[in-house]
């Protein structure tokens, strides 16, 4: 049995903790009659097994708790994190779980205790589900809410839990996601942000995750004026983290990745330097090259925006395959050895469990600060990021390569996974979406 399914069975046998104040494991209204409203049907993208997703039909979700909001989805997307679910790297998915943790839309229905929203209002949801009043929520550290996820395995394995998350497996509470035509938002007053008229869905959507995640990676790792910053991974998170590093005063940013992704960066972000790890000469390494590019000392700050599941060499590939580790340490070691003495490294790419061959010596001897940035606390930043969009300081559309239809999402996942058609961040429209806003890529159908 795959580890993902073994973990799910174990969780079912042990049972959840008693900390959650919102219902757990409602990942598809089809499977939970008390959560289904049969007045309308919807299309949604569901996980159907390891490396298998497809579009399914399900009843519309129903209000099940007084603080719920039902959102009619007008925009969603696929995230690098969804690939960890597709691959079964993030454990405890169940067949039929609706995915998607980034979405915006229009309020369709509100529960009797919802006070901030009414039907018809445009909103964006945060990827995490927070209660708004616990120890972490009071500090706006919403990704670590103590009341929305009662998963026992996560608690035992991590020594604490993250918040519940939309479309992100039973490991984070089991909530139906936003790659759908409707989504139920628990604690709607807390987890939705109104979108003003001058911010189209095509920009506002990315407040769900990417913008807050990359901004958090930059400020949490400590980028300050004059710093040289190196970023691993030129996906949407890496690109925005690069943009934000410059906004936060970095003197220079170098992105490490390979192939067309770097060409994309050169075209869209001309102030950012690139390093292609696949084009190194014999005897060269990312570390030696970065030193060469930065006075032989290395960057002040390094940020990991790739993920722990992408092994570079055979050793880690096999160790992961054999279950001897869940994540490779290659990127982290590369960051540590590249960074200047007493510099800082942040990890924002997803790491699931344990890793071998970690270079603890370099970390200790050279005084490197290694920071887990955590799942990003969206609520801490989304209002100020919205203002940055309105002021034109940031343009989320720079990272958006395609506009696609929800009904094609089953195919889009595999194109996204294989980076076909130079696909990176997509905007997924539904039957409820407005016509494309200015600057949005035109629709591609599959
Ligand atoms: N912490 C959070 O709150 C949070 C939120 C969203 C996403 N994430 C994570 O951030 C990561 C990036 O997200 P994304 O949407 O940009 O993903 P993505 O998959 O589009 O991009 C990842 C990039 O990393 C590159 N990469 C892989 N191995 C590399 C290596 N050895 N060296 C350099 N680059 C390498 C890939 O080529 C790819 O371009 C993912 O792991 C995602 O799960 C974290
Ligand atoms: Zn995401
Ligand atoms: Zn909370």
Q: How far is CA 339 from the centre of its chain?
A: 25
**Ligand 1 binding pocket includes 261 (Cβ within 6 Å):** yes
Q: In what order do the strands lie in the sheet with 252-257?
A: 273-276, 252-257, 228-232, 301-304, 344-347, 369-372
pLDDT of residue 91: 82
- Residue among 237, 327, 380 to mutate when testing ligand 1 (max atoms within 8 A of CB): 237
pLDDT of residue 89: 85
Q: Which two tokens stand for residue 50?
A: 């390891």
Q: Which two tokens stand for residue 192?
A: 């939705």
Expressed in angstroms, the distance from the first to the final Cα of the chain is 33
pLDDT of residue 13: 85
**Ligand 1 binding pocket includes 377 (Cβ within 6 Å):** no
**Ligand 1 binding pocket includes 349 (Cβ within 6 Å):** yes
Residue 248 belongs to a domain: yes
312 and 401 both lie in a single domain? no
CA quadruple 385, 389, 391, 395: dihedral sign: positive
Residue 413 belongs to a domain: yes
331 and 362 both lie in a single domain? yes
Radius of gyration over alpha carbons of the chain, in Å? 21
CATH number of the structural domain spanning residue 185:
3.90.180.10
**Ligand 1 binding pocket includes 376 (Cβ within 6 Å):** yes
Place of tokens 């519309």: 60
CA quadruple 381, 384, 390, 393: dihedral sign: negative
Residue 434 belongs to a domain: no
Under the phi-then-psi rule, with left for phi > 0, alpha for psi from -120 to 50, and beta for the rest, what region is 92? left
224 and 318 both lie in a single domain? yes
Residue 435 belongs to a domain: no
136 and 187 both lie in a single domain? yes
Q: Give CA–CA dist 97/362, Å, rounded.
A: 42
Distances (CA, A) of 205 to 97, 121, 385: 22, 14, 12
pLDDT of residue 437: 96
DSSP class of residue 95?
A: T
191 and 338 both lie in a single domain? no
178 and 33 both lie in a single domain? yes
Number of domains in the chain: 2
248 and 395 both lie in a single domain? no
CA angle 96, 309, 404 (to 5 degrees): 50
Q: Which of 309, 123, 82 is nearest to 208 (CA)?
A: 123
Q: Give CA–CA dist 135/142, Å, rounded.
A: 10
**Ligand 1 binding pocket includes 286 (Cβ within 6 Å):** no
pLDDT in single tens digits along all 446 residues of the chain: 577 777 888 888 889 999 999 999 999 999 999 999 999 999 999 999 999 999 999 999 999 999 999 999 999 999 999 999 999 888 889 999 999 999 999 999 999 999 999 999 999 999 999 999 999 999 999 999 999 999 998 998 999 999 999 999 999 999 999 999 999 999 999 999 999 999 999 999 999 999 999 999 999 999 999 999 999 999 999 999 999 999 999 999 999 999 999 999 999 999 999 999 999 999 999 999 999 999 999 999 999 999 999 999 999 999 999 999 999 999 999 999 999 999 999 999 999 999 999 999 999 999 999 999 999 999 999 999 999 999 999 999 999 999 999 999 999 999 999 999 999 999 999 999 999 999 999 999 99
Under the phi-then-psi rule, with left for phi > 0, alpha for psi from -120 to 50, and beta for the rest, what region is 425? beta
- The answer to whether 8 and 94 have CB atoms below 8 angstroms apart is yes
CATH number of the structural domain spanning residue 320:
3.40.50.720
pTM: 0.96
Which residues have CB less than 5 Å away from ligand 3 (the ion)? 130-131, 134, 137, 145, 147
Q: Give CA–CA dist 305/241, Å, rounded.
A: 8
148 and 163 both lie in a single domain? yes
Ligand 1 centre and the CA of 349: distance in Å?
5
202 and 219 both lie in a single domain? no
- Give residue 323's domain range: 214-372
How many residues belong to the chain? 446
Q: Give CA–CA dist 34/307, Å, rounded.
A: 37
305 and 402 both lie in a single domain? no
Residue 443 belongs to a domain: no
């Amino acid at each position: 049995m795959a580890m993902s399914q073994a973990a799910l069975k174990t969780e079912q046998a042990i049972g959840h903790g008693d900390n959650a104040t919102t219902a757990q494991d409602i990942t598809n209204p089809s499977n939970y009659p008390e959560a289904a409203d049969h007045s309308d049907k919807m299309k949604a993208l569901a996980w159907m097994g390891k490396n298998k997703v497809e579009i399914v039909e399900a009843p519309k979700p129903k209000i099940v708790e007084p603080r719920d909001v039902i959102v009619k989805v007008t925009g969603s997307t696929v995230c690098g994190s969804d690939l960890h679910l597709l691959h079964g790297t993030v454990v405890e998915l169940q067949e039929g779980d609706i995915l998607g943790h980034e979405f915006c839309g229009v309020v369709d229905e509100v529960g009797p205790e919802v006070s901030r929203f009414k039907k018809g209002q445009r909103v964006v949801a945060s990827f995490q589900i927070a209660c708004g009043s616990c120890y972490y929520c009071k500090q706006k550290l919403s990704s670590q809410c103590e009341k929305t996820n009662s998963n026992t395995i996560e608690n035992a394995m991590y020594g604490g839990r993250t918040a519940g998350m939309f479309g992100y497996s039973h490991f984070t509470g089991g909530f139906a996601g936003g790659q759908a035509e409707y989504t139920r938002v628990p604690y709607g007053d807390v987890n939705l942000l109104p979108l003003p008229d001058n911010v189209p869905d095509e920009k506002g959507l990315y407040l769900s995750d990417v913008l807050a995640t990359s901004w958090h990676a930059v400020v949490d790792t400590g980028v300050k004026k004059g710093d040289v910053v190196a970023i691993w991974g030129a996906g949407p998170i890496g690109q925005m983290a690069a943009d934000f590093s410059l906004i936060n005063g970095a003197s220079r940013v170098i992105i490490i990745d390979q192939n067309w992704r770097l060409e994309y960066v050169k075209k869209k972000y001309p102030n950012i330097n690139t390093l292609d790890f696949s084009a190194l000469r014999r005897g060269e390494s990312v570390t030696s090259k970065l030193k060469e590019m930065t006075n032989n000392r290395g960057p002040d700050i390094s940020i990991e925006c790739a993920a722990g599941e992408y092994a570079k060499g055979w050793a880690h590939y096999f160790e992961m395959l054999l279950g001897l580790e869940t994540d490779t340490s290659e990127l982290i070691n590369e960051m540590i050895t590249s960074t200047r003495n007493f510099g800082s490294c942040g990890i924002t790419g997803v790491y699931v469990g344990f890793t071998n061959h970690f270079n603890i010596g370099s970390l200790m001897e050279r005084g490197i600060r290694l920071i887990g940035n955590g799942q990003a606390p969206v609520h801490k930043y989304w209002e100020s990021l919205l203002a940055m969009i309105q002021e034109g300081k940031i343009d989320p559309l720079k990272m958006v390569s395609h506009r696609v239809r929800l009904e094609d999402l089953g195919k889009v996942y595999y194109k996204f996974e294989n980076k076909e058609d130079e696909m990176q961040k997509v905007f997924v429209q539904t039957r409820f979406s407005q016509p494309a806003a200015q600057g949005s890529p035109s629709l591609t159908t599959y």
